[in-house]
A and B are shown apart, each in its own frame.
Chain A
Amino acid sequence: MTLRKRLLGWLADAALILYFVFALFPIAWMLILSLKPANQLFSTYFSFSPTLDGYRTVLGDSEGIPFVRFFVNSLVVSLGAVLLSLVVGLPAAYASARWRFKGSENLMFTLLSFRFAPELTVIIPLFVLYEKLGLFDTYVGMIWVLQLVTLPLIVWIMRSYFADLTPELEQAALLDGYSRKQAFFKVALPLVKPGIAAVSLLAFIFAWNNFVFPLILTSNEAQTVTVGALSFLGGDRPKYNLTAAAALVSVVPPLLLALLIQRYLVRGLSFGAVKS
């Protein structure tokens, strides 16, 4: 290794460390904030007497804000949205990858367009509709509206996974005596499992992080953590330590999920038996 190369390596390391500090500093700041006692909130010193009071308050349903319920709501709504999208989206993705039918491309494009229209453009009419239909502040309503977020993602990504799968595999299964349905469930679906894992996680994160829909379409019963965490800022005096604690708690589920399915995320698709 030449001196020049070594120098470049050090420079790259330094740049990376700098970036890590830049990227992680807000999170570190949140962590510090969440551990501060209420009376030291506005000091910028790093020395303070750390306390878990903030977490206790947030998880203990004091301050009149049912954060634990928001947390459960988020779980129910995000998981529900992802599951529904999988049930509807996997067959849709498969069909659109395997067959050209009348209007198939238009349908797929319409689905995609849900992603590039800002949510704010449709939120007022949706609010009016939800009021009229009795879906306002309900699980069903939230899961339904989150389909705008999760369904296009799942359909489009899974479509390319299915398209990468050679149709001969299913045809071989047909010749082996499987029905079309069995070929889908028992041959195609198991082969795209890594894809399903990856896209489910992505969809879950998007659903979990969604802010605008729960902000406008829920008030209390079905409110999620993204909106709920902000409640601590209201009132006579913003409680930053509680907001920080709530935010950090709400990072836990996506993080756990990501760690759990890391194996699938890394593996990706490898079809050793098929030569392209």
Chain B
Amino acid sequence: MTRLELRELRKTYRTRGRPPVEAVRGIDLTLRSGELLGLLGPSGCGKSTTLRMIAGLEAVTGGDILVDGASVVRAPAQDRNMGVAFENYALYPPLTVAENLAFGLRARRRSARGDVSRKVAEIAERVGLREILDAHPSTLSSGQKQRVSLARALIREPDVLLLDEPLSHLDAAQRDTTRRELKRIQRDLGHTTILVTHDQEEALSLADRIAVMKDGVIQQLGTPYEIYDSPANVFVADFVGEPAINLLPGTATADAHARLSDSVRLALPTPVAEGRKLVLGIRPEDLRLSDDEGALPARVVAHEPLLESGIATLALDGVDRHLVALTDPDVRLAHDDRVRVVADRDLTQVFDAETGDSLR
């Protein structure tokens, strides 16, 4: 359908008497037609600003936005044909759901009257709004409002669909169903889509590719598996993953190990120049309780027995850090229990301590 390209996109906020704030510092992205790209990052990383620049709601400081090769960066929002589902839904309160959906079609005066009601019925069917077409937004649940908001964005057949934190106001049950719906609808209709979110679960489960942002810069662009399995730097490793990855400072040795302290060494997946300062990243699920040769002794600080797996907080002997490890559901641990733990060498992430970049 549509290819979207961002070239060197920048946004700098200038307020008199204050230093300028660089919200977005040169973003390059190309979305294939029909792709769903997740823009993932903590609040203030510039992801929403990027989305608003694409929509035309925010003036661009520098760079270009191309839709199917044609620049739209100078066009006002009403001429861009972008569909946006806002975080707070932004439905017109005095209008019914059907009128909300028809609003955009009427505003553009592109469709004949019969055409409008046909399209409303069509999209309502697809998004599952048929029963609530005559309801006013104030009477709807958050999940329903989000679906109406999505339908309103879709009904105009936009070139690009922009979703701003679409699930963040929903409760857990609604989030799961709405997420599945979202994925199905996006796949059915095949819109090129950008999903802005701070929720890694949302990005990992919905997106074809994820761009992790921090401080207005894309840290890594890749499939959910690439992001998770080979994070490009410490930030990405730390931001993606629940419970968070264990980060341990250490020094490389000549025999492809890292020394965490005088008594504790961990094997590295790749050799690194001796003496280099490192940060090792080990995901909680890659730590295993074991009696193997070379397993590290540790003391149990806390154990949270959840249903599908437990979360153990361990104090490694000789290292001034706590480790978090996932345990099998049948494991019972008590405070101060002694255990031995082993890390999967091949899944250990290795980062340069200074730059934070991955050395793998």
Among A168, A177, A182, A273, contact of B137 (Cβ-Cβ < 8 Å): A273
Cα A118 to Cα B154 with chains together (Å):
56
Q: Do A275 and B169 form a contact, CB below 8 Å, given A174-B57, A175-B55, A177-B108?
A: yes
A174 and B80 alpha carbons, distance in the complex (Å): 10
A274 contacts across to B, CB distance below 8 A: 88-91, 93
- The verdict on A270 contacting chain B, using a C-beta distance below 8 Å, is yes
Nearest A-chain residue to B155, judged by Cβ: A176
A276 to B92, CA, bound (A): 15
A271 at the interface (CB under 8 A from B): yes
Q: In the bound complex, what is the Cα–Cα distance between A47 and B188 (angstroms)?
A: 86
A161 to chain B, nearest CB (A): 14
- Interface positions of A (Cβ within 8 A of B): 102, 166, 168-169, 171-179, 182, 187, 190-191, 270-276
Q: Are B94 and A166 in contact (CB under 8 A)?
A: no
Minimum Cβ distance to chain B for residue A70 (Å): 41
The chain B residue sitting closest to A272, CB to CB, is: B138
Q: Is B86 in contact with chain A by the CB < 8 A criterion?
A: yes
Contact B86 A168 (CB under 8 A): yes
User: Given the interface contacts A271-B93, A274-B93, A275-B142, does A177 sit within 8 Å of B88 by beta carbon?
Assistant: no
Contact between chains at B108 and A272 (CB < 8 Å)? no
User: A273–B103 contact, CB under 8 A?
Assistant: no
A178, B107: Cβ atoms closer than 8 Å: yes
Question: Are A175 and B138 in touch, CB under 8 angstroms?
Answer: no
- Total A-B Cβ pairs within 8 A: 88
Determine the chain B residues whose CB is within 8 A of the CB of A174 once the complex forms: 56-57, 76-78
Q: A166-B88, A168-B88, A176-B107 are in contact. List 19 more A-B contacts (CB 8 A).
A: A168-B90, A169-B90, A173-B92, A173-B107, A174-B76, A175-B56, A177-B104, A177-B107, A177-B108, A179-B78, A190-B94, A191-B94, A271-B93, A272-B136, A272-B138, A273-B90, A273-B145, A275-B142, A275-B145
Q: Are A166 and B93 in contact (CB under 8 A)?
A: no
Which residues of A lie under 8 Å from residue B86 when comparing CB positions? 168, 171-172
What 10 pairs between A and B have smallest CB-CB spacing?
Answer: A272-B138, A273-B137, A176-B104, A168-B90, A273-B91, A177-B108, A177-B107, A174-B77, A172-B90, A176-B107
> Which chain A positions have C-beta within 8 A of B92?
169, 172-173, 187, 273
Contact check, B78 vs A172: say whether CB atoms are below 8 A apart.
no
* Contacts A172-B152, A175-B55, A175-B82 given; does A275 touch B88 at CB 8 Å: yes
Within 8 A of A (CB), among B77-126: 77-78, 80, 82-84, 86-94, 103-104, 107-108
Q: Judging by beta carbons under 8 Å apart, are A178 and B88 in contact?
A: no
Contacts of A275 in B (CB 8 A): 88-89, 142, 145, 169
Decide if B139 is an interface residue (CB 8 Å cutoff).
yes
Does the CB pair B78–A175 fall under 8 Å?
yes
- A272-B77 in contact (CB<8A): no
